[in-house]
Amino acid sequence: MTVMGTARPAGRPRSERAEKAIVDATLDLIGEGTSVSELSIEAVAARAGVGKTTIYRRWANKEELVGDALATLKAPLPVVEGRTVREDLVAYLDVMRQDTLTLRTRCIMNIAMSEPDRHPNLYERFHKTAIEPRRAAMRAVLERGVATGELRPDLDIELAIGMLSGTMLWYTKGAAHNNTPLADDLAARIVDEALRGFLSR
């Protein structure tokens, strides 16, 4: 009998250090451009300074490891509620822009873009936790704009989401190619250009 209801299993407990090292190594490798298909357990173990056994003991397969690793990258998803729709949209799009600057969130992009049907479970899981919330947030802002009359009542909201996100995605891809970072005011310029079509006037 143990004191706590959660009975600690006998024997040496699993190392938190090792677990974190494994997850970090996984994210590092993916962030460096290794695709999920190419990612090898051996490489993760070597990078993490860990025996392969320690990895196999915790994760049944590669997908679960990557899935858990990505889950640790919780999207902060800023809750902006500015005065105007324009401000909010710029804020969200600018998060998208800044994400491309950090290594960790670039991991997400790599996976999200490259292997949709190869690892469907993985993609599904990632989509639910990363894509959908952001999409919902943007949808809410647009719907609020329609409600307040700031935006056209007949605005195709899903299309609007696609236009804003897609444009930033386009620039993100272009920036990844020719190493020029995205302009600071890019989000504002996209939104402004788009709003001339979205605004009710």
Alpha helices, DSSP H only, in 10-152?
A: 16-31, 41-48, 52-58, 62-71, 85-99, 103-114, 120-126, 132-147
| CB of 35 or CB of 54, closer to DNA | 54
| CB of 17 or CB of 173, closer to a copy of itself | 173
Picked from DNA, a copy of itself, none, the partner binding residue 65 (CB below 5 to 8 A depending on kind) is none
Per CB under 7 A, 2 contacts DNA = yes
Residue 1, SS3? coil
Q: How far is the CB of 72 from a copy of itself (least distance, A)?
A: 23
Q: Between residue 55 and residue 94, which ones bind DNA under the rule CB under 7 A?
A: 56-58, 61-62
Place of tokens 């599904």: 124
Residue 199, SS3? strand
Q: Between residue 118 and residue 137, which ones bind a copy of itself under the rule CB under 8 A?
A: 118, 123, 127
Q: How far is the CB of 28 from DNA (least distance, A)?
A: 15
Per CB under 7 A, 200 contacts DNA = no
Per CB under 7 A, 14 contacts DNA = yes
- Provide Rg for the chain, Cα atoms: 21
What is the three-state SS of 110-132?
HHHHHCCCCCHHHHHHHHHHHHH
Picked from DNA, a copy of itself, none, the partner binding residue 156 (CB below 5 to 8 A depending on kind) is a copy of itself
Cα four-point dihedral sign 65, 67, 70, 75: negative
Task: Select from 4-12, 32-40, 86-94, 142-150 the region that touches a copy of itself (CB under 8 A).
Answer: 32-40
Per CB under 8 A, 177 contacts a copy of itself = yes
Residue 40, SS3? coil
Q: Give the burial string for 37-76 (b: 16+ CB within 10 Å, else e).
A: eebebeebbebbebeeebbeeebeebeebbbbbbeebeee
Closest CA to 18 of 50, 44, 43: 50
Per CB under 8 A, 162 contacts a copy of itself = yes
Residues that bind a copy of itself (CB under 8 A): 33, 35, 37-38, 113-118, 123, 127, 156, 159-160, 162-163, 165-171, 173-174, 176-177, 189-190, 193-198
Residues that bind DNA (CB under 7 A): 1-2, 7-15, 17-19, 21, 39-43, 49-54, 56-58, 61-62
